[in-house]
Structure 1
Amino acid sequence: MSASLIKPTSVVCKEPNPGGPEDADRCPQPTSTDLKMSFYVGLTLALAALVRAAPAANTGYEFNSVAITGGGYITGFIAHPAEENLMYTRTDIGSTYRWNQTLDKWIPLTDFISEADVNLFGTESFALDPNHPERLYLAQGRYITSNNSAFFVSSDYGETFDIHPAPFPMGANDLGRNNGERLAVNPFNSDEIWMGTRTAGLWKSDDRAKTWSNVTSIPNAFANTIGIVFVIFDPKKNGTIYAGATAPEGLFHSTDGGASWSPVPNQPSTWEVTVPANTTGPQSTAPQPMKAVLSSEGVFYITYGDYPGPYGVTYGAVYSYNTNTQEWQNITPNANNSSPPPFEPQAFPNGGYCGVSVSATDSNTLVITSLDRDPGPAIDSLYVSRDGGKSWKDVAQLSTPNVEASGGYWGHSIEQAALKNGTPVPWLSFDNSPGWGGYGAPSPIQGLTKFGWWETALLMSPWDSEKVMYGTGATIWASDNILSTAEESKAADWYIKAQGIEMTACLELSSPTDGVHLLSGLGDINGYAHFDLDTPQPMFSLPVASNLDGLDWAGHHPEYIVRIGQSHLNNTPETGCHFGAISTDGGHDWEPLATCIPPMNSSSTFTAGTIAVDASASCIVWSAGNWLNRFLPTSNVSGPYYSSDQGKNWNSPTGLTVQTPNITTDRVQDATFYSYTDGVWYLSTDGGRTYSSKPGTEIGLPSGEGAKPIVDFKRAGHVYLNLAERGIYYSSNFGSSWKKVTGDNITAALFTVGKAAPGKKTPALFIWGTVESGGKTGLYRSDDNGANWTRINDDAHQYGGPSVIQGDPRVYGRVFFGTFGRGILRADIRKGSKKGGVAPGTGGI
């Protein structure tokens, strides 16, 4: 995909109201708090002048995803009623995808986003033009704390975009991202676009999102960092618009095209709930709108909560509002109108409601989802009504095998966790592990995958009401017979419909010389041994990690793998250390480490740090991470702990007294570990017991901070250091002396090595960075130990920049590319082609 060359347009700006809570459920927030009026200033020229993909030099490359299938939070769906199978899905950190019926997969649309503009790799909201199916609008920006947000405008189904800076911040990964849609196109004027913002009220554009003006006629701007969460036009009444805000009595309407606004009369102003004993009541004085749909007969169906979501909602409701009669009805599922009845002993679980969709042909047929019942004992449900909400069928209960034994943990059988063609997505079982803090995916019932959590994206097909799909915090589930099965109180047939979506946050990658192709450590969903790069693989078995921080393998025994990660499970002598595990069969099976290193020997949620195993698989070194950042050293009375008995006992070394993340092992010589920390080179040849050291400036290294050594996997003592703007340095004698192997203008943010080019002794070098002054940031390869470099990606394949890169020691030219929000990519030399450029059509698997 590419973008049309544009000139940044002027915008009418109003200073937003900064402040408010930050959503940090997935990752640390950006540090910038600049919410000044000139938000478009942060939109770099690289994005403001995006051009069609420039070819890469020399040998052509192609990019494909390493298949996980899903892996993150699906926040919304939209579909065009006039064009069958035209639908899109948005994600919190992975942007937007379009469904391709012919290819039977979702196609990513914004892989051209550069590293400088990575904040734009989240879709706050999106909209379609009812009169022009080919037109697509994306409101892009992950965090309101960033001064970089924009509108992506396409006239060709998202194949290319014009990019227009936005005069207000957006928060696709902030609190309230489950609501919407904030963005809407006037069905009576296709040039007129409206947007409900988080911090600056309601805005309007008369030129297809190029310029914007603040709509000051609405009585309240709701500048509370959540703000106005949906805008809906009545397609039968020119000039009638509705806007919903995260606030009690937050539904407003206009009948004169937005010139004046007033609250919708008689909307819910109090909670019609009974607060159970020994519990707190709702967090808001009245229900707050979350999502809404307008039926073909003019009936609004609105879901409510007492908190913005997607987490923290404890009470909720569902109402209908007939715009023709101005009548309100409380249609919340309850013990009197829902079948099967609510799970006992709870009279009805706490939690709100969010997802809602209505049939295009029957105003009385709709589906809704609850929100935040997890962890239960009864978890979130999907409900179907055929009578406008008078009665409901609890589809989650009906779909659960052996519901009596489930204990309220509604779920799909693991056999249903497969694509429609039968390809399994086995990791969705989460190995039925114990849950970790907050909202998590593991089902405690063997054989079940959890029915879902954060089920806020919901779509009843506008072309066939039997078809429904809903998104979760991990994937998309779909059914083609939801109405007929619910009518008969039977289980619907379900399958996974997330193929092509890769939106994991990658923390760690490793590629052994034999056995498994790739090992990955991911945010939120543990990690994987990728024996097949093209099909979903099982998740690492117990012990699970919410974030997997470290991976390593033994040079002479690549089937021996160690891993460490954040765990919310208690570590006891009976169960071992759940922060780490060992596999002796290439990543199939795992055993917890017998004990943790002292800083981790508790049920803390600290970052696990860095781990390395020597070539003989006899010595393990584990260095604790800073509790906020695994890449920062931790001051400690000990250096990196070592074990010579497979993690049964850990001891402190001499000669290195910092818990440094910059620790690695030689792949060829046994018992050999390296570290370059605070400008000092350390070498251990006795399994991490003792370290000798030399100041870097005495052995050919420049002054400055340290870096993690990267080793040649074939030759002992051959080591590289990436010192960013100071260059890449190389040693062939265990670090006794060093020489710079890159030119003065080469700056590498990330560095890795891979299989040597034919006839070469040194490995292929890969960097993410620049190779000339003022040059483009990109992915580059050198086959002559850093003397010359070739760019191997292009402007269409940037993915917001990588979080980690990893060369393949077995396949020349291959490098793995881990991202924050776009999963794991692999770049391969195109077979049978010596032409330059990146192969088209390889945006997703």
Structure 2
Amino acid sequence: MQLKNVLYRGLPFAVATIAAAKTINHAYEFNPVVVSGGGYITGIIAHPTEKDLLYARTDIGGTYRWSSSEDKWIPLNDFISAADENLLGTESIALDPNDPDRLYLAQGRYLSSENAALFVSSDRGETFDIYPAPFKMGANELGRNNGERLAVNPFKADELWMGTRDAGLLVSEDGARSWRNVTGFPNANANGIGIFWVIFDPRSEGTVYVGVGVPGGIYVTKDSGETWKAVPGQPLEWDEDVLVFPEEAQPQSTGPQPMKGVLAENGALYVTYADAPGPYGATYGGVYVYNTTSTEWTNITPNADNSSPPPFDNQTFPAGGFCGLSVDSKDPETLVVVSLDRDPGPALDSMYLSRDGGRSWKDVSQISTPPRSGGYWGHPIEEAAFKDGTAVPWLSFNWGPQWGGYGAPSPVRGLTKFGWWMTAVLIDPSDSDHVLHGTGATIWATDNLSSVDKNQAPDWYIQAQGIEESVALAMASPNGGNSHLLTGLGDINGYRYGDLDVPQPMFELPVFSNLNALDWAGQKPETIIRAGPCGHNYTDGCGLAAYSADGGSSWTKFATCIPGIETGTPNPGVIAIDASGKNIVWSSAMTTYWPTLQAITTRTNESGPYVTTDLGQTWVSPTGLNVQTPNISADRVQPRTFYSFSDGTWYLSRDGGLSYRAFEAKEIGLPAYSGAMPIANFNRAGEVWLALGDLGIYHTRNFGKRWSKITERGVAARHLTIGAGARRSSGPALFIVGKVASRGPLSEDGVYRSDDNGKTWVRVNDEKHQYGGMAMIQGDPRVYGRVYLGTGGRGIIYADIKTKRED
């Protein structure tokens, strides 16, 4: 159900015990499997008067608050349920300049959803009152880099203004509970993306500036919205000096569009411009300043005549737009701006610093880059570390070839890109030397920006600890070896974890833009296979699948891909490896865990899952199973054994996937069902479980020749995994995502554990730890009670039984 004026308060953790005579009811603690970042930081803002009170917004992972005492960002939206998944994306943040405790969040990922809301907090996001919004939001749509669209009137504490995408300019006079339209506002829904930003003038009650995503789109009112006029003199057409490559690329708009605006304390309105809303596709842009007293505009765009070092000589494409913007609260003539979309380079996006209101600039990115980069601005990989020295090595992206992830790998070995999509930038109002900038992957920061004044590189570090906003696509937890968890993530490939609390290196080449499939050999847990799209045509093998015999340290590409899979395939399907590590099956059928975040592609192939015993030198089409199915897995103990349950039929192969014997569901004790992934015991051959949604869980101990239902009425299991059993039990623990009935109606949707093979259940997570829902879970075969929760915007969480601490 959707949220309706729900009041969330920090209640003690309580798990409802479902007839817990056998399953032990433990309290749980929840921690992220650390990537540190992993997605697009769309905004960073600070309270103007409260030291260290910073917030970061993300497109699909909600909002975070910086905690200086804990030295990390604190997630504020983890209570969002699966039913309200669309709310796990922040369109805009607003702070009350007169009350540091007041926080407003505009939440909603997609315009296609009817579910958007305003989150209102009086305690900095510890708790929220939630009010459904009468308009749509698009935190993961085009233009999410702009803003802030939401603003608090500094003269009226309960008055907020919201520049929407498709409902015009709205005002609330009761703290976001209700809204009315500013009917006289012009051009409100232009360009299909609407209003980019709203700025109150704190020096003049009733004066508000609003930026709309069209040329000439800056409007001002001086009577609280009763009347409006376009700000006079603003740039309406492109300066001919900017259009330096007219034959190669024409601007996408007739004039500059105002991306972001900042009103300095001296009345200077600084504005960045581009020809497209962003965050991708901008080719031209500029930076201007408007003197609100004299009504004069000045073009202050960084260029060859006013920036140092000068622009890269061999730039052969349009210089991109501008978006990122921040002004020093202590000095209105000190500001930073950041270019947008100069990829693929050379001459990548630059951050520029001005101390004189934009008359001259220092190119911070160039100054921060070691010599001989060839125009590919970047940080030495040694700087990709937290302030305490903990490395964040994955940001190298292995210096691999370009792939589907926008702007990710640096082509210069030893450098990680200075950034891309650097639309979130902040000069800390409490420390002018402390500057943070977000990228498409993380947050970089420095404490000595003033080094740039001496043409010296600042000391940069990663300030993203606590932020986890990746999308889980695959997880595996072997029963041996050095790694407890192998992960596949959207946009940033995959990782292996011996230590879940420390950022890890990315899997080596081939690097996948998404890692969609993982598996390990049950009797050789160091043997791993993975698959995903790569966007690069490797000449020495299939770049969409790889094999490792050493736990993921080194990888060998499959010699060839299966028929129907090629370089441009967006999702290569699923792969499975038998217990011996010798037989591999590959099906092109795709499992879509996050339909709202992934494009769905269908393919037809008349063969069943192909099998190879020589790492793809040859592929064989099996007999007995003639469809590509996503529901295929291997027995973890007995070699050459594979299972599938598809379209109401159970399939069993005992010859390495060359042939399958088919069993109709009703003949072996299974109900008619579309299909499910077989979950094989890691300790016993032939033991398998199936999660069949509202029909419950079915179990076999003889390779599927006879099944029995092990759950009582009322157990609904959308996803199933197994993990290490309790010490008193030889069987594994079962975990599900779904519902469990007690006496009365169905229980809350959540993650549940059973220690007695499905007879009794207890809830693992609670209402405070829902993460917008989990579409995949993975038990740990070596740690009792541990389950990994794969989310669609908050990365991967590991849930562990709380241990009693000694006094």
* Aligned partner of 1:285 among 254, 262, 285: 254
Summarize deviations over 1:69-99 as a string: whole Å, max 9, x none. 0000000011012110001000000000000
Distance 1:242 1:716 in 2: 69
1:491 aligns with 2:422: no
- What is the 5 A alignment of 1:644-655? 644-655=613-624
Distance 1:183 1:712 in 2: 52
SS at match of 2:515: strand
1:125 aligns with 2:89: no
Cα separation, partners in 2 of 1:223 and 1:786, compared to 1, 3 Å: farther
TM-score by length of 1: 0.91
* Aligned partner of 1:340 among 309, 316, 334: 309
Distance 1:274 1:356 in 2: 22
CA offset at residue 637 of structure 1?
Answer: 2.3
C-alpha contact (below 8 Å) 1:334/1:348 kept by paired residues? no
1:612 aligns with 2:576: yes
Alignment match, 2:21: none
* Aligned partner of 1:240 among 207, 211, 226: 207
Distance 1:637 1:551 in 2: 24
* Aligned partner of 2:117 among 150, 153, 167: 150
Cα separation, partners in 2 of 1:631 and 1:182, compared to 1, 3 Å: closer
Alignment match, 1:31: none
Distance 2:9 2:381 in 1: 45
1:787 aligns with 2:754: no
Distance 2:329 2:139 in 1: 28
* Aligned partner of 2:644 among 675, 695, 699: 675
CA offset at residue 606 of structure 1?
Answer: 3.0
Alignment match, 2:164: 197
1:809 aligns with 2:775: no
C-alpha contact (below 8 Å) 1:241/1:255 kept by paired residues? yes
Summarize deviations over 1:627-674 as a string: whole Å, max 9, x none. 988999853221100011122211111110111100100000000000
Distance 2:544 2:27 in 1: 42
* Aligned partner of 1:378 among 347, 363, 381: 347
Cα separation, partners in 2 of 1:438 and 1:531, compared to 1, 3 Å: closer
Cα separation, partners in 2 of 1:268 and 1:438, compared to 1, 3 Å: farther
1:297 aligns with 2:261: no
Alignment match, 1:548: 515
1:828 aligns with 2:800: yes
Alignment match, 1:22: none
Alignment match, 2:19: none
CA offset at residue 350 of structure 1?
Answer: 2.3
CA offset at residue 803 of structure 1?
Answer: 2.3
CA offset at residue 767 of structure 1?
Answer: 0.6
C-alpha contact (below 8 Å) 1:606/1:627 kept by paired residues? no
- What is the 5 A alignment of 1:610-689? 610-626=574-590, 634-689=603-658
Alignment match, 2:551: 586
Distance 1:153 1:456 in 2: 25
1:95 aligns with 2:54: no
CA offset at residue 427 of structure 1?
Answer: 0.1
Distance 1:821 1:534 in 2: 18
1:48 aligns with 2:48: no
Letter in 2 for 1:295: A
* Aligned partner of 2:478 among 507, 512, 527: 512
CA offset at residue 278 of structure 1?
Answer: 2.6
CA offset at residue 704 of structure 1?
Answer: 2.1
C-alpha contact (below 8 Å) 2:405/2:491 kept by paired residues? no
Alignment match, 1:139: 106
Alignment match, 2:541: 576
C-alpha contact (below 8 Å) 2:244/2:318 kept by paired residues? no
Summarize deviations over 1:791-830 as a string: whole Å, max 9, x none. 1111011111112100000000000001011011000111
SS at match of 1:659: coil
* Aligned partner of 1:449 among 416, 437, 445: 416
SS at match of 2:142: coil
CA offset at residue 626 of structure 1?
Answer: 4.3
Distance 2:684 2:591 in 1: 35
Alignment match, 1:559: 526
C-alpha contact (below 8 Å) 1:301/1:320 kept by paired residues? yes
Corresponding residue pairs, total: 786
C-alpha contact (below 8 Å) 1:43/1:149 kept by paired residues? no
Distance 1:134 1:421 in 2: 29
SS at match of 2:675: coil
1:308 aligns with 2:266: no
Alignment match, 2:20: none
Distance 2:232 2:691 in 1: 64
1:330 aligns with 2:262: no
C-alpha contact (below 8 Å) 1:641/1:652 kept by paired residues? yes
Distance 1:749 1:147 in 2: 24
Distance 1:749 1:631 in 2: 20
C-alpha contact (below 8 Å) 2:286/2:322 kept by paired residues? yes
Distance 2:604 2:175 in 1: 54
- What is the 5 A alignment of 1:389-408? 389-402=358-371, 405-408=372-375
* Aligned partner of 2:734 among 750, 765, 773: 765
Distance 2:8 2:195 in 1: 31
Letter in 2 for 1:234: D
1:66 aligns with 2:30: no
Summarize deviations over 1:334-358 as a string: whole Å, max 9, x none. 1111111111122774210000000
List gaps (5 residues or longer) in structure 1: 1-41, 835-845
1:599 aligns with 2:581: no
Q: Which moved more, 1:633-642 or 1:379-388?
A: 633-642
CA offset at residue 591 of structure 1?
Answer: 1.5
Distance 1:487 1:564 in 2: 47
List gaps (5 residues or longer) in structure 2: 17-24, 593-597
Distance 1:410 1:250 in 2: 33
Distance 2:644 2:604 in 1: 16
C-alpha contact (below 8 Å) 1:633/1:660 kept by paired residues? no
C-alpha contact (below 8 Å) 1:609/1:630 kept by paired residues? no
Distance 2:732 2:603 in 1: 32
TM-score by length of 2: 0.96
Letter in 2 for 1:611: I
Alignment match, 1:175: 142
Distance 2:313 2:569 in 1: 33
Alignment match, 1:716: 685
Letter in 2 for 1:624: S
Letter in 1 for 2:545: G
Distance 2:775 2:515 in 1: 14
CA offset at residue 487 of structure 1?
Answer: 0.9
C-alpha contact (below 8 Å) 1:355/1:455 kept by paired residues? yes
C-alpha contact (below 8 Å) 2:591/2:630 kept by paired residues? no
What is the CA RMSD across the aligned residues, in angstroms?
A: 1.6
Distance 2:543 2:569 in 1: 11
Distance 1:770 1:755 in 2: 22
* Aligned partner of 2:500 among 504, 529, 533: 533
C-alpha contact (below 8 Å) 2:534/2:567 kept by paired residues? yes
